[in-house]
Amino acid sequence: MEKVGIGLLGYGTVGSGVGKLLVKNAEDITLATGRQVYLKRVLEKDPGFSAPGLDPALLTARFEDILEDPGIDIVVELIGGVGAALDFQLRALRAGKNVVTANKQLLAQHGAELFEAAESTNAHLRFEASAVGAVPVIKVLRESLVAAEVKTIFGIVNGTTNYMLSAMAETGAEYGDVLKEAQRLGYAEADPTEDVGGKDAAAKMAILASIGFHSRTGLDDVAYEGISGVTSADIAHGARLGLVAKLLGVAKLIDGRMNVRVYPAFIPRAHPLAGVTGAYNAVFLESDAFDRIMLFGPGAGSVPTASAVIGDIISVVNTVKGSFVQNCLCYKDVPFFAGADMVSSFYLRLRVSDQPGVLAKIASLFGDHGVSIASMVQEGGGDAAELVLLLHPVREAQFFAALDKMKSLPEVQGESAFIRIEGET
Ligand SMILES: NC(=O)c1ccc[n+]([C@@H]2O[C@H](COP(=O)([O-])OP(=O)(O)OC[C@H]3O[C@@H](n4cnc5c(N)ncnc54)[C@H](OP(=O)(O)O)[C@@H]3O)[C@@H](O)[C@H]2O)c1
């Protein structure tokens, strides 16, 4: 039987999962491909590296041992980062080797270079695990829905922040305490910046928008905000209004232009995404062709992510060079839609002095900017009075202009908080 050698770069969380699944599911993989797919070499930078179940004879600290091995057909990059990983992937693709990766930041920041390198030798570059871990959203967008003209891709694409916002809603604890607990339980990394700041979700959304809208989108094209400004008070106000807070990735195609962003948002409790709690991920796809599809599952973890990597390996093995779908399918150049022109509904919390005429003043200022109030609730009184407003959909530039003016009113004190509302029907 023909053999397919795998050169695995990195035997960490995901890499070791791939190593184990290749052995454990060897029979299924052979049945799916008609070939014997096996681990031929493993790159780790520490020459003294060892791991349970890994044959030390497979280890090398020299990338060239993989690059120059004619028996290695597929290089699986699972070291992460955008330094050595970029160098290794480019060299492998330019040498005509197929590459499978889970590296979202690398693809979102250097996708153009990588896909060009793949095209130059007709090599395959597969990256299902780079967005939403085990959930096969890229394959669905690229193959199953290729003719469906997907118009909206939005969802929960970061498990850390979803765990944290769920915990804040359940316990009423504040952001800082929940972050510490998430780190203790292993849901957040020691340096959680990429997750809580939205950069991880932004890279995934750049990849999903590229595939879904067939137009190259990079990290620089995605405006992103994290969850550090979301308070348990806002989550509780939202809950009373039937809303649930999530960090959402939102990519929309509007009149031939696209907008891709990441921000904390409220969604109605009845929305299917509202029930996605803990470290789970879910992506909602909308199209005139099929209305709505939701994909749901674990967005990270050793074996779940490794299973998506194995799926990509099988897809490469089953693909005759050059005769299958292109790697990226970015054959369009869709212009971007400015965030300021996007139309959004808002939740707004203001601290005001409880004086006669304040509500009328605020309503009139909003009216002057074309912002219409759907509901307004006052909580508390005296200096601690808070107004919680829900605003009808409005061009974001108008909302922010009104908010700026509002902050200069003497009756409005301290920091205001706003959260977009998504998923309304
Ligand atoms: N973990 C997940 O659940 C998950 C989910 C989706 C996607 N991903 C993506 O999958 C990739 C791998 O993540 P991971 O969590 O498996 O990372 P990890 O546990 O840190 O594993 C990376 C491994 O690669 C080794 N390595 C790093 N730089 C190297 C180099 N220059 N040469 C050789 N070996 C090197 C590391 O060694 P040292 O430890 O000695 O540095 C480590 O053993 C990342 O791109 C990540 O974003 C991960």
Q: What CATH number does residue 153 fall under?
A: 3.30.360.10
Q: Of 259, 282, 317, which residue constitutes the final position of a domain?
A: 317
* 128, 254: one domain: no
Q: Is 315 left (phi over 0), alpha (psi -120 to 50) or beta?
A: alpha
Q: Which residues are catalytic?
A: 204
- Asked whether residue 224 falls in the same domain as residue 112, the answer is no
Cα torsion for 165, 166, 170, 171, to the nearest 10°? -50
- At residue 382 the predicted structure's pLDDT band, cuts being 50, 70 and 90, is confident
Residue carrying the six token digits 């004619």: 70
Identify whether residues 238 and 261 lie together within a single domain.
yes
| pLDDT exceeds 70 at position 325 | no
CA 11 / ligand 1 centre spacing (Å): 7
CA-nearest residue, atom 4 of ligand 1: 300
In the prediction, which pLDDT does 425 show? Answer: 66
Residues 218 and 360 grouped into a single domain: no
The residue segments making up the domain with residue 84 are: 3-133+304-317
Percent of the chain with pLDDT over 90: 85
Instruction: Name the average pLDDT for the chain.
Output: 94
Ligand 1 mutation pick, 8, 78, 101, max ligand atoms within 8 A of CB: 78
User: What pLDDT, on the 0 to 100 scale, is given for residue 326?
Assistant: 56
Instruction: Please give the tally of structural domains in the chain.
Output: 3
- Between 217-231, 246-260, 351-365, the lowest mean confidence (pLDDT) is in 351-365
Give domain status of residue 218, yes or no: yes
The answer to whether the beta carbons of residues 133 and 281 sit under 8 Å apart is yes
pLDDT of residue 331: 86
| Helix pair angle (104-121, 84-94), 10° resolution | 20
Q: Are residues 268 and 155 part of one domain?
A: yes
Main-chain dihedrals φ then ψ at residue 191, nearest 5 degrees: -105, 100
Judge if 382 and 294 occupy the same domain: no
User: Which domain CATH number covers 364?
Assistant: 3.30.70.260
Closest ligand 1 atom to the C-alpha of 43?
A: 33
The predicted model gives 241-252 an average pLDDT of 97
Q: Whose CA is nearest to atom 27 of ligand 1?
A: 79
Mean pLDDT for 121-141 is: 94
Q: Which atom of ligand 1 is nearest to the CA of 15?
A: 16
- Which protein residue has the closest C-alpha to ligand 1 atom 8? 102
Distance between the two ends of the chain, CA-based, in angstroms?
55
Residue-level pLDDT at 321: 53
Residue 205: predicted pLDDT: 98
Reported pTM:
0.94
